[in-house]
Amino acid sequence: MKMPERRNTTFLIILLLLASVVAVGLVYINYQTRQIFGLPSESLSPLSALKQSVVLFQGREKMLAIAPGNGLSEEKVSVEPDQSIQNLCTTLEQRNLVASASLTCTYLIYSGKDRNIQPGNYTIPIGENAVQIADLISDVTRRDKQFVIYAGWRLEEIAAMIDGLGLTFNGADFLSLVTAPPDSYREQLQIPQWMFLEGYFFPGNYSMKPEITLQDFVAEILTRFKTTVLTEDFNKNLQTTGLTLHQAITMASIIQRETLAEEEMPTIASVFYNRLAINMLLETDPTVQYALGYDAQTSTWWKSPLTYTDLEVNSPYNTYRNPGLPPGPISNPSLAALRAVVAPAQTEFLFFRAKCDGSLTHNFSKTYEEHLNFGCD
């Protein structure tokens, strides 16, 4: 009669042993997961944390493996404001940056780092595993620095912008490099030995990793200038102007400061060509503004209005006193201004003057008398 009791006892012992084995296994898995992936988020329930620990432990090889990438040294990943974690992880997998979207999402949720992800651009180095990539995109300090170089800015204005980015270098470091650039920069852009890099910082939106070096920062912007501006068509048209590349950029930089209206840039270019053809002074205010430098009274690099005394400033950049183009660019021109130089309008205009209607556009004239008639009362 005692046989069933013995069987029940044996069954209970087996169950206890199995439970012990499972418990020990879970403890081991939980311990190993924490060693590899860190502590779980405090926002998770114990059961949820345990479930995700098991999933991560099972997928640890995929999480620690380095995905093949796409043959580049680094990839740019954009996180949109309303993008879900699942969609972001899927994007990472589709771009061969992680081996498993679901495991990467599990890790982000397990660690609580899904709550730290902020919109922006992130530079992902190839050769990192899914854990490292997830850590990067959830660290706002690793978010790319986004900035704009505006058409018509001079180098000092770019330097001031750099000071506000929080990079590993400052504006003074930037100016030291670009005003005494290495020969490698000069050679790739045909810059005369005695000139600096004014004019070659292509305007536009940029996104760069926060740890970028000064040399790479400059190289990336110069590369965009080279690939965007120096196309086959541009170079072909440049040959018809009789100008060197440096002279063309110099003229474009003046045009950029003369007008914001892209549609009249080719006409302004024609005025400059017409004046140069008859050895007439260019007499353009922006070159004087550049020569004067920073104006403390107006807190600007572009003093306006100019006085008659200003027009007499002794500088090779002053086109009221010196014939021809100034020795180099006075700002960093847009693609529209550069294209205007190599494809100018065909006119007989020698003068232009701002309209009096506040449109920031100009009236053009062939004679000085006509030019005077466009004056504002």
Domain-terminating residue out of 229, 258, 293:
229
What single DSSP character describes residue 263? G
Residue 333 lies in a domain: yes
CATH number, domain with residue 117: 3.30.1490.480
369 and 245 housed in the same domain = yes
Residue 279 lies in a domain: yes
Residue 366 lies in a domain: yes
Residue 306 lies in a domain: yes
pLDDT of residue 13: 66
Cα–Cα distance, 91 to 345 (Å, whole number): 47
83 and 125 housed in the same domain = yes
pLDDT of residue 7: 65
Residues 6+ apart with CB under 8 A from 123: 74, 75, 76, 77, 144, 208, 209
158 and 128 housed in the same domain = no
Cα–Cα distance, 140 to 146 (Å, whole number): 13
137 and 240 housed in the same domain = no
Query: Is the CB of residue 49 less than 8 Å from the CB of residue 37?
Result: no
Residues of the chain with pLDDT under 70: 1-8, 11-26, 377
Cα–Cα distance, 228 to 42 (Å, whole number): 50
Domain-terminating residue out of 109, 142, 175:
142
241 and 358 housed in the same domain = yes
329: cis peptide before it, omega within 30°? Answer: no
Number of domains in the chain: 3
Cα–Cα distance, 60 to 173 (Å, whole number): 44
Half-sphere exposure at residue 174, Cβ-oriented, CA atoms within 13 angstroms: 25
Residue 15 lies in a domain: no
pLDDT of residue 19: 60
Instruction: Show the tokens assigned to 1.
Output: 């009669």
pLDDT of residue 285: 97
pLDDT of residue 14: 66
Residues 6+ apart with CB under 8 A from 156: 175, 294, 301
**For residue 317, which of 109, 90, 154 has the smallest C-alpha distance?**
154
Strand partners, 351: 365
pLDDT of residue 247: 97
Cα–Cα distance, 139 to 135 (Å, whole number): 6
169 and 255 housed in the same domain = no
Classify strands 362-365 and 351-354 as parallel, antiparallel or unpaired.
antiparallel
92 and 150 housed in the same domain = no
What single DSSP character describes residue 114? G
pLDDT of residue 194: 82
Residue 204 lies in a domain: yes
What single DSSP character describes residue 204? E
44 and 158 housed in the same domain = no
Instruction: Show the tokens assigned to 165.
Output: 């980015």
312 and 328 housed in the same domain = yes
Domain-terminating residue out of 212, 229, 246:
229
261 and 336 housed in the same domain = yes
Query: Is the CB of residue 63 less than 8 Å from the CB of residue 130?
Result: yes
Range of the domain at 254: 232-373
- From residue 309, alpha-carbon distances to 224, 255, 276, 303 in Å are 39, 23, 25, 13
239 and 362 housed in the same domain = yes
268 and 364 housed in the same domain = yes
